[in-house]
Structure 1
């Protein structure tokens, strides 16, 4: 043909006559994601090694053939690609050819929908565990909340005392402890004090103040007597908060990046799963805990309300109940052939697989490969899909639709991929049912949507409800210790939301999450000192001057001198006395201040 340029018709003829062409997505954002590797069309060998990890990799050879019946797409696609997966990730239906080396040969053919999908009936017994909740002592909010923390509080007490002791010994050995350090005032804590600390943290979410010290301020704008009522001073609160710990630093496995909160997370997850068995529909998504400090696995997600923070993967059931969770700690040192999304899904879903559940995921997790793995474990998948995922049917991804149009394709491996256009194009995947246009009631009126999209919106709201409830009166504040923020989030938000859901189910009472927190705080404090619910007129006010062995400055005199001339003047000129009134809030009172503040006079 010489050097003459080919015409458009000649190029079209060459393309139509091509066979065995390699099929890849037009857009590839697969850097660092094993599910989206660039695949070779060559036959896999029995002893192929990855140059990066020098380990054997099993091959799954997939041949993709797409029929062309959509719009202007009239060229069938028949290609061969290799997908690295473990031998367990493919079912017998998806792997008709199996050799002794462990390689799987799968032929995936996309055709018009026939409705020939796998039927995995739901065979679990969902609901709250009567045995678990039979251990509660009553029907108050605290009774449900304490069930989740029954074995957590003793662990926190033990590890907090251990950590404080280790820190004191280290400071003494290194001669770094200061004379006026708070650490010199440390005394071992107990369960009652940790319960009061958790109650104060929840209360701080209800009563927002600029800084922590303002909760103990005597300024008329912030003054409150809660710390005095529960017997916890500002110094003690700061000591407990700074030494709050959940694992033993000396014996734990430090290769685990989240070792500081792993025992707490494992204990709460065990209780969450023992308390409730989810219904058929479940949802997996991520949530962000805000944190802007220096941390190797800190995430940046621009679409989230808190763009910087630690990411938590959550599996939620109906009404926002958190069944399982996983703190994302960055790239693993020993990665498998699966992508991060697939590993997270299979790990969170492990207790719920093999019983016909329907999992809902967004486009970060959804893929044809994941659908095959879940079908192999008798579970269905529904979710939105990214256009550049490998093994998507090209006639679907390339189709140009008008508003309201719907096209679908079904594979011989029982996976349906479709596209629907509303204001924009939405690509989705399902293994449960063939999508059909249905009417959905919205505020403007009835809107036609595919049944798959309507079901996705309904199930996806489980995570949204959980995050919404946790956001009301949240107690998470700024701090430099990431693990403390994670722990406070799980203890005072996730566990409280789960307790709220269980409380409403068993008591049949309608109560919002804020009121539930208020009653919870009231009972947490009342359990320790039994004074929160006592009327003020019932409190004993036996005003009497007594003399004690210790000495201190008169509270009122010191305050007056400090306001007029400053703290240094007050320290030097306020006398130290041994007298105080046993019925007053002031520890020390001179004789003049006693008679100035009480409705009585000196007898002559």
Structure 2
């Protein structure tokens, strides 16, 4: 299975339309490493049988519940996040049939499966939840947004974390509830949301003007830049700070707006990384694509953590390549290595097994030149791995 996923990751570097193309001998598709590491039929059989559930399932979500739960438990045991954390949605492209497929207008992949993710400021995703639609027994139904936040924050409550969320989640009541649980919160606020202060909703502002309301240790702010922006925070107040815009001009902005722009992009940054070397292929089984998607998230997480704790920094390309090599190379059959040159090799007869029968191996030369499976009782004593060889193939193999 390690070798299988190593080949899957390598497909992110070598983009071909069909899985079969990676094993073609045509000079236009010549990818020798795939044929040496694993046969095409074995790879396709593993891919066909790939699943993470055992027994019968009561609903579609149960087909991937095991791997998502494993992901969450593994990340909790390996790493504790920074103080600044964020919650946001992440879409996985899927246009096929599934009951809980979602549509999000503002995302790059408008149709797909929606994940709710919790990440720290480095971009390391700590917790995932695949949204199962209105019938989702964990977060579906009434108070959906509040359920999502409580579910993802269940392991990080009452410890002084600072949460950044966008206007899909934020409300005055949610920020107050988090504050009572010793969790700070900062985020944008939708217009006319329930319990919004009246002062924020009334009146129009000129560019650069502020309207600030303090309520129960919560600061709600309306600021006019190119348009009116509403922000709420239990950590920051309405203080202004100097910052530079995209043109490099020094301007004044509210502190909570600056902090929100700095820390809210963690999940978007994480989503960007797998797209450079995406190894996902089309499939009619949605849960297989979810499995590969979660594996790619794990790979990007490990990249962020490596650069944090290692003195040597790597690019994503170099890190992926080192991971792929460490997975694939130990599984490459030693009998496929080329024979040592400038040395006279000796033929030997294979030993007998416990039943007294002489062992047999596939002739390496017949397979390499004719793609023909020929069993032989002889092998080369001096070549790495002692490859099996017919008597007639011994000299051609060593080029004597």
Q: With the length of structure 2 as denominator, give the TM-score of the two structures.
A: 0.83
Give distance in 2, aligned partners of 1:433 and 1:578. 75
Structure 2 counterpart of 1:171: none
Deviations 1:272-311 (A, max 9, x none): 0111222221100011111111011011112111111111
Structure 2 counterpart of 1:267: 70
Q: What is the Cα deviation at residue 209 of structure 1?
A: 1.1
Aligned equivalent of 2:271, options 448, 459, 467:
467
Give distance in 2, aligned partners of 1:597 and 1:355. 67
Q: What is the Cα deviation at residue 337 of structure 1?
A: 7.7
Deviations 1:29-81 (A, max 9, x none): xxxxxxxxxxxxxxxxxxxxxxxxxxxxxxxxxxxxxxxxxxxxxxxxxxxxx
Q: What is the Cα deviation at residue 558 of structure 1?
A: 8.4
Task: Indicate how the Cα distance of structure 1 residues 596 and 344 shifts in structure 2: closer, same or farther if over 3 A, else same.
Answer: same
Give distance in 1, aligned partners of 2:326 and 2:74. 21
Matched, 1:243 2:49: yes
| Unpaired stretches in structure 1, ≥5 consecutive residues | 1-193, 560-575
Give distance in 2, aligned partners of 1:512 and 1:549. 43
Matched, 1:200 2:3: no
Task: Indicate how the Cα distance of structure 1 residues 397 and 535 shifts in structure 2: closer, same or farther if over 3 A, else same.
Answer: farther
Matched, 1:216 2:26: no
Matched, 1:341 2:145: yes
> Contact 2:123–2:270 (CA<8 Å) still a contact in 1?
yes
Aligned equivalent of 1:437, options 240, 243, 252:
240
Give distance in 2, aligned partners of 1:599 and 1:281. 64
List aligned pairs for 1:281-300, cutoff 5 A.
Answer: 281-300=84-103
| Unpaired stretches in structure 2, ≥5 consecutive residues | 350-359, 381-387
Q: What is the Cα deviation at residue 578 of structure 1?
A: 5.8
Q: What is the Cα deviation at residue 511 of structure 1?
A: 0.2
Q: What is the Cα deviation at residue 330 of structure 1?
A: 0.6
List aligned pairs for 1:244-393, cutoff 5 A.
Answer: 244-250=50-56, 252=57, 254-255=58-59, 257-332=60-135, 338-393=142-197
Give distance in 2, aligned partners of 1:434 and 1:405. 15
Task: Indicate how the Cα distance of structure 1 residues 343 and 222 shifts in structure 2: closer, same or farther if over 3 A, else same.
Answer: same
Give distance in 2, aligned partners of 1:323 and 1:578. 51
Task: Indicate how the Cα distance of structure 1 residues 260 and 542 shifts in structure 2: closer, same or farther if over 3 A, else same.
Answer: farther
Number of aligned residues: 375
Structure 2 counterpart of 1:104: none
> Contact 1:542–1:582 (CA<8 Å) still a contact in 2?
no
Matched, 1:453 2:257: yes
* RMSD between superposed Cα atoms in Å: 3.4
> Contact 1:202–1:521 (CA<8 Å) still a contact in 2?
yes
Matched, 1:515 2:318: yes
Task: Indicate how the Cα distance of structure 1 residues 556 and 282 shifts in structure 2: closer, same or farther if over 3 A, else same.
Answer: closer
Structure 2 counterpart of 1:73: none
Give distance in 2, aligned partners of 1:429 and 1:504. 33
